[in-house]
Structure formats: C-alpha cells, structure tokens
Amino acid sequence: MEIELRLKIEDLFARYVHCLDDDRLEEWPEFFVEEGRYRVTTAENLERNLPLPIIYADSRAMMRDRVAALRQANIYEPQRYRHTVSSLLINRVDAGSVRAVSNFHVVRVMQTGDSMLFATGRYLDRVRIEGEGGLPQFEERVVVLDSRAIDTLLAIPL
C-alpha cells in the first residue's frame, strides 16, 4: 500500500515536470485541486517568515489567468525549463493526504541555445491522494528557491 502510494506521488511529480518542460502550461492548473495553492518563495523569506511570495495563486482560476497572461503578453524571451527532481520524502497527514518534500535543479534553455542552471530548491507539497479521476492532486505546492538572486522576470511556473 505504502509502495503504491509512493509510486503514485512519483508519477504525479513526473507528469507535472514534463507538463512544464514541454511547455504545456494550459494543463498546469489541472495538477491542483480547485482551491489549490501555488507559491514561489525563497529560503530566506521562508525562514524569516516574510509573506512576500514571488508568485502566488490560491485557486485554479488564478493559475489559468496567469497562464493566459503569459501566453498573451508574451513578454518573456522564448525559453524552456529542464527539471531534475529527486530525494522525495513522504509523510502521511491523514487518510486522504500526504506532505512531501523533494529537491530540484532547473536548467533554463533559451531559444538562442544558451542554457544555464536557473534555479535550485525544494518543493514543499501537500497532496490529496485521491483527486479528480482518482489521481493525486496538489492541495498546495510551495516552491522554495535557494537563492534570492533569481531573474525577476521569472515567468513560467516551476
């Protein structure tokens, strides 16, 4: 049972990553429950309990708006991410949900071919095990960046 649970969470994480790295941003909100929360912050802000996330959404509707804005405004240079995610730890919260921690390295690849290590950090998640369609979904995903020195034009969700 615990093994199946673990593999379901790993599968969720892998689908999430490929959705972003394939630039299928319109599908991104579907990884969350309807009232799901998404936040990008820095380790420093988290430690000091500063309430200023870099990106914030507290519903799928808000996430959809964000994606629509990204597509329409098109302010950012064409770019892609490539994630690696590892070191997943899972803790049960209750019968219906788990907390998870994992590490990520994200490389950003520009259309010119330049690529760079763009962001590193942790995902702090709360996952509903049986979301829509029986698949797990994020109740909350907090992206904790290690460095505050990140491109302020940060646009694509991480």
- Smallest distance, its own copies to C-beta of residue 149, A: 3
- Smallest distance, its own copies to C-beta of residue 28, A: 15
Place of tokens 């646009």: 155
Q: Both tokens of residue 150?
A: 């990140």
- Smallest distance, its own copies to C-beta of residue 140, A: 19
Sketch the per residue contact string, 32 through 71, with its own copies: x for CB under 8 A, - otherwise. Answer: -----------x----------------------------
Place of tokens 């799901």: 36
Place of tokens 């430690």: 47
Q: Does 117 bind its own copies (CB under 8 A)?
A: yes
Measured in whole angstroms, the distance separating CA 131 from the mean position of its chain's CA atoms is: 17
Q: Does 82 bind its own copies (CB under 8 A)?
A: yes
Q: Does 115 bind its own copies (CB under 8 A)?
A: yes
Taking the C-alpha atoms of residue 118 and residue 59, their distance in angstroms, rounded to an integer, is 26
Residue 134: closest CA among 96, 98, 91:
96
Q: Does 120 bind its own copies (CB under 8 A)?
A: yes
For 67, 71, 86, 93, 149, the CA distances from 157, given in Å and listed in that order, are: 9, 13, 18, 26, 17
Residues that bind its own copies (CB under 8 A): 3-4, 6-7, 10-11, 13-15, 17-18, 21, 43, 80, 82-89, 101, 103-105, 107, 109, 112-117, 120-122, 146-149
